[in-house]
Amino acid sequence: MKQYKVNKIRGTVALLATGLILGGCASSPSTFSAADQSVDFNQYKTYAFMQDLSTDQRGYQSLESTYLKDSVAREMEQRGFRQSPTPELLINFSIDSEEKVRSRSVPSSGLYVDPFYGYSYGVGYETRIDQYTEGRLNIVAVDVEGQRLVWEGTTKGRITAKVAANIEGTLDEAVSEVFKQFPVTAGVANISYSQH
């Protein structure tokens, strides 16, 4: 009969602090992308950022918006796009976070209470519970003429102490990860060819 030992950890603040300190053990970010398959992205040459970005505060542009605009502009320019007051694509982005709880069973040895045999020593399993904050960056591209979403990219990962200490660098890396799945590849000129 398998022996189980459940270790209940209390203290939300302590768990969060532990998650931040042990950020080096966090899993790598997950990145997702979806594109309108009916759209030829080589038809687009120009872009601009939406006037009211989801990352902006009321009445002023946030630091996050500034960092994201710089990073997205770099990625778009590497793909042959240019900013324009009359864009073909509008870019928007959002950032949010969510508290997460993860439980896992790990082998452990020690003294256990068995309902049939009393106390016994052996190997069992201990349930460990981790609480952490997961951050998510979402970037979208909207076709101006058709007024429809044509691409969306998302990356999410654990927020650690290292992340919190370097928001600009973290957002820059996140944008780079998202744009690896953009329909136009970096370093490839965004040129559409007409057949004659």
Model confidence at 133: pLDDT above 60: yes
Model confidence at 140: pLDDT above 90: yes
72 and 50 Cβ atoms separated by less than 8 Å = no
* Structure confidence at residue 98 (pLDDT): 76
* Structure confidence at residue 15 (pLDDT): 27
Q: What is the mean pLDDT of residues 153-162?
A: 85
* Structure confidence at residue 195 (pLDDT): 39
Q: What is the mean pLDDT of residues 31-51?
A: 95
